[in-house]
Amino acid sequence: MTDRTSPFSAGVLRVAALQVAPVYLDAWATWDKIKSMGLEAVNDGAEVLTWGETLIPGYPEWVAVDTTEAQEPAYARYWDQAVTMDGALVADIKAFAKRHKVMIIGGVAERSGGSVYATIITIDAQGELIGRHRKLKPTWRERLVWADGDGLGLRTHDTKIGKIGSLNCWENWLPLARAALHQQDEFIHVGVWPGSITQVDDITRFIAIEGKTWSIAACGVLRAQDMEHLSEDIFPVREEMLTRKKVWQNGGSHIVAPDGSIVAGPLVGEEGIVAADIDTKSVVMARQLRDPSGHYSRPDVLNLTVQGANVIGAGKG
């Protein structure tokens, strides 16, 4: 029987970036906050939820201080609160996705072996962990905390309007990382960030224009007040983190159309939801001019090989 379904018949997909401040270094309490905001977004029709880089249990901003003796206990707490792919917290995220029939793309600190990774998990609307992307190269001081990632997670995943992919923070600036997703016909790009409007405003729009994709910046917020609950035994840098700055990360979540126009956000300086209805047709129309996922990229001449991309079992490791 001939399939007469139009690629445009799926209509629109509602996506929501959840801009949340963590309960710093408390993974479960942070997930509870995300879950509460996520339920609000789902009730507003969201079919994809995303949030910032390692929001669970928080971005390791304490590496900005300079004493090893103070950093080591903070890292120990961070390691303890990092999630495992087969652990109870990821299981609860999967259960939430299945219960509400929503895709989730979110940043977590992942513990595996003796290392911690900046990881994006992708869970489909059936509650299956279909993607696990570890940040390829931690940036600057992040190398004190996170190990290097791998090519396993450089994948796109199906949605009803096209394929979706994601990258962590400054790896969004890696040309070949973006190209790896272009090659897989990415229609929607999610960049997860700790949260700073000055870091995300140019690249989010650049990715939309370069890839002719929908581009989402999912950012966190981090303020001094979000660390007040920690004791100095657990977090010896507490006083310095409370007094050096009142705001460490100011958000900046927004959504950009394939023509480079901002359709939602940016949200700066507060927690909240940035949502938009996105479609396939906008991508296709933009790609008549230049299609980096199709013939304009000349795959017969230029082709990128990603080491580890053909490994089976994205949810393992």
Using CB atoms within 10 Å of the CB of residue 307, give its burial: 0 to 12 exposed, 13 to 18 middle, 19+ buried.
exposed
Angle between helices 27-43 and 88-100 in degrees, nearest 10: 10
Nearest to 56 by CA among 13, 121, 131, 109: 109
Question: Rounded to the nearest 5°, which phi and psi values hold at 17?
Answer: -95, 120
| CB 172 within 8 Å of CB 188 | no
List alpha helices for 13-62, DSSP H.
27-43
Here the tokens at position 242 are 């409370």
- Parallel/antiparallel/unpaired status of strands 214-219 and 247-256: antiparallel
Residue 230 corresponds to which tokens in the numbers above? 């920690």
Q: State the CB neighbour count (10 A cutoff) for residue 315.
A: 16
Catalytic residues: 53, 135, 169
Question: Dihedral of the CA atoms 151, 111, 200, 179 (nearest 10)?
Answer: 0
Helices (H), the chain: 27-43, 68-81, 88-100, 175-182, 197-211, 238-244, 281-287
Strand, coil or helix: what is 297?
Answer: helix
